[in-house]
Amino acid sequence: MADPSPDVRAAAADLAAVIERASADLKLAEEPSGFIVALEGDEDPA
Amino acid sequence: MTGWTIETLAREIATCRISAVEATETCLARITRFDRRIRSFITLDADGARAAARGLDAELARGRSRGALHGIPVALKDLCHVRGLPTSCGTKTAEYFTPERECAAATRLRGAGAVILGKLNMVELAVGPFGDNPHHGDVQNPWRPGHSAGGSSSGSGAAVAAGFVLGALGSDTGGSIRMPAACCGIAGLKPTYGRVSRTGVMPLSWSLDHVGPMTRTVRDAALLLAVIAGRDASDATSSRRPVPDDLATLPRAIAGLRIGVPENYYFDRVDPEMEAAVRAAIRALEGLGAVLVDLRLPDPEPLVGVANVITRSESAAIHARLLRERPHEVGPVVRARLEIGFQISAHDYIQAQRVRSRLTREFIGEVFGTVDAIITPTIPEPAPKLETVTAGSLEEIVRRTGQFSRFTRPFNALGLPALSVPCGWSTDGRPLAFQVVGRPFDEATVLRLGCAWEMSAGASGRLLEPDLVD
């Protein structure tokens, strides 16, 4: 694949900066799959 | 077509006042006459539809009805794989996507008696909100040719609005059901993440993709949702929660329901006519007994950043082979947006997923501890001119894209049910729309509020149709 253009590199850097700011105070226990747990709540569908 | 909804046509067919074949032929004739300009279809399966309709009429003659959709003409966004039909995903390649399994939602629609007329135009690879497509033509807004039909489910929005089909399936990763619904003056529902199976649907972003109905009325959206919702073991993200009977609760009064009206972000830099129409709809719901609560929502900007990192990373992985082997076949804007994903680190992708978890938990706790639903504009302005939004540098187009989807994208990151409902017209005849967002898996309340507005505005009783030109 060709080298990324400056625009593409800049857009990726902007996104990385957003995530760095947003993740600054993440708790150690926060897992990537916590989203599904948040949506499903405490309800046991079974 | 005038006045038909899924509900009314199904009743006509069930009582043999019209046959499934006649309904199908009416739609096919309308498509043949008008779709050369609208460009909502990529594949029209007239023979397949006629055969299916004949079979359904024969079943009815034997006393067997498949239920709510028996004989109803529908069509699917061309990223839903249907056996026997090509799935281009809006690309130059006719059969870009051929999974082992058929689109689970399409199978359920057919099982409930729907007649599938074909596959609908869309933005290339579902990347973009305006309905332009360099390979299959730009979808025209049926109400205002030359204006955007919204995207990426552009053909779905236009085909329903133009009366070519009674309902359609769309997919929504950042607003791709709700934006075309808003632009085209129809109802469009992004259900809760996990409520409707994505099996057999080309992914754009596994973590953010949703499949949902697009229809002329909110009640019809509830009818389609009832058919396509529910557990599917072949989709790892499909929820095990039972599907409640939303249709039964739809007519219930909305008195006492608490509606959150955002004080921040969601009414910033909104077209004055759009804002006035949305606020008028909110007041009308208050008049029906809903309680309005002004509230400050958690800042959506981090959510938008999270959604962008996840979408870019996952879509680059999904389409890596196309970008590696045939990049010249992909339009420049879509290619540039996909290429960003290759520059995002695994660390940032994982952090984005973790931030999403925290923000979702916080949003649900803070907001839905106070209100039952929130209402915002779906899009910041009525359908813009296609030539305006597709002009300029790559950077300008990408910025415009982000601006147009800024009210829908946060709710993909949050996975919450979100419904776009038409709520009037601009002075130059473009549809206006609001968005209702509810608790996880509470499609019932979202649909109930949309339906209450629709009934109060008389929309179900006097469906308008655009004046189309051959």
Examine residue B382 and state whether it is found in any structural domain, yes or no.
yes
Would an 8 Å CB–CB cutoff place A1 in contact with chain B? yes
CA distance B4 to B146: 27
Residues B1, B2, B7, B9, Cα dihedral to 10°:
-40
Q: Which residue of A has its CA nearest to B343?
A: A12
pLDDT for B253: 92
Does position B285 have pLDDT exceeding 80, yes or no?
yes
Q: In what order do the strands lie in the sheet with B291-295?
A: B41-44, B115-120, B73-77, B167-172, B210-215, B187-190, B418-425, B431-438, B373-377, B258-262, B291-295
Structural domains in chain A (count): 1
pLDDT for A44: 56
Examine residue B462 and state whether it is found in any structural domain, yes or no.
no
Examine residue A1 and state whether it is found in any structural domain, yes or no.
no
pLDDT for B469: 80
pLDDT tens-digit series, residues B5-22:
999 999 999 999 999 999
Would an 8 Å CB–CB cutoff place B391 in contact with chain A? no
Which of B328, B357, B401, B439 would you mutate first to test chain A, the one with the most A CBs within 10 A?
Answer: B357
Examine residue B37 and state whether it is found in any structural domain, yes or no.
yes
Task: Please judge whether A39 and B360 are an interchain contact, meaning their C-beta atoms are less than 8 angstroms apart.
Answer: yes
pLDDT for B412: 98
Q: Cβ of B14: how many Cβ atoms within 10 Å?
A: 15
Task: Please judge whether B323 and A1 are an interchain contact, meaning their C-beta atoms are less than 8 angstroms apart.
Answer: yes
Q: Could you report the predicted ipTM of this complex, rounded to two decimals?
A: 0.92
Does position B245 have pLDDT exceeding 80, yes or no?
yes
Examine residue A46 and state whether it is found in any structural domain, yes or no.
no
| pTM beyond 0.95 | yes
Would an 8 Å CB–CB cutoff place A10 in contact with chain B? no
Task: Please judge whether B358 and A26 are an interchain contact, meaning their C-beta atoms are less than 8 angstroms apart.
Answer: yes
| Block residue for tokens 């729309």 | B433
Of residues A5 and B304, the one with the higher pLDDT is B304
Examine residue B1 and state whether it is found in any structural domain, yes or no.
no
> What is the CA angle B435-B369-A40, rounded to 5?
80
pLDDT for A43: 62
Examine residue B198 and state whether it is found in any structural domain, yes or no.
yes
Question: Looking at residues B109-114, what average pLDDT do you find?
Answer: 98
Does position B220 have pLDDT exceeding 70, yes or no?
yes
Please choose, from the candidates B235, B219, B99, the residue with its C-alpha nearest in 3D space to the C-alpha of residue B460. B219
pLDDT for B184: 98
User: Residue A34 belongs to what domain range?
Assistant: 6-40
191-220 in B: which are within 8 Å (CB) of A? 192-194, 207
Any alpha helices (H) in A1-46, and if so which ranges? Answer: 6-22, 34-40
Percent of chain B with pLDDT over 70: 99
Examine residue A34 and state whether it is found in any structural domain, yes or no.
yes
Examine residue B468 and state whether it is found in any structural domain, yes or no.
no
Please choose, from the candidates B261, B47, B403, B302, the residue with its C-alpha nearest in 3D space to the C-alpha of residue B55. B47
Examine residue B71 and state whether it is found in any structural domain, yes or no.
yes
Please list the pLDDT of chain A residue by residue as tens digits (46 residues): 668 888 888 889 999 999 999 998 888 889 999 999 999 986 655 4
Does position B295 have pLDDT exceeding 90, yes or no?
yes
pLDDT for A28: 84
Examine residue A25 and state whether it is found in any structural domain, yes or no.
yes
Structure tokens at A29: 């226990």
Would an 8 Å CB–CB cutoff place B87 in contact with chain A? no
Does position B396 have pLDDT exceeding 60, yes or no?
yes
Examine residue B466 and state whether it is found in any structural domain, yes or no.
no
Examine residue A20 and state whether it is found in any structural domain, yes or no.
yes
Structural domains in chain B (count): 1
Would an 8 Å CB–CB cutoff place A7 in contact with chain B? yes
Residue of B240, B343, B415 with shortest CB distance to A9: B343
Mean pLDDT of chain B: 96
Q: How confident is the model at residue B465 (pLDDT cuts 50, 70, 90)?
A: confident
Examine residue A10 and state whether it is found in any structural domain, yes or no.
yes
Examine residue A13 and state whether it is found in any structural domain, yes or no.
yes
Query: B70-83: string of b/e by CB count within 10 Å (b at 16+)?
Result: bbbbbbbbbbbbbe
pLDDT for B458: 81
CATH of the domain at B29: 3.90.1300.10
pLDDT for B385: 98
Q: How confident is the model at residue B1 (pLDDT cuts 50, 70, 90)?
A: low
User: Residue B44 belongs to what domain range?
Assistant: 6-457
Does position B202 have pLDDT exceeding 80, yes or no?
yes
CA distance B271 to B261: 17
pLDDT for B112: 98
Contact residues, chain B, for A8 at CB < 8 Å: 336, 339-340, 343
pLDDT for A46: 46
Does position B460 have pLDDT exceeding 60, yes or no?
no
pLDDT for B461: 46
Examine residue A24 and state whether it is found in any structural domain, yes or no.
yes
Question: Looking at residues B333-357, what average pLDDT do you find?
Answer: 95
| Block residue for tokens 């208050």 | B286
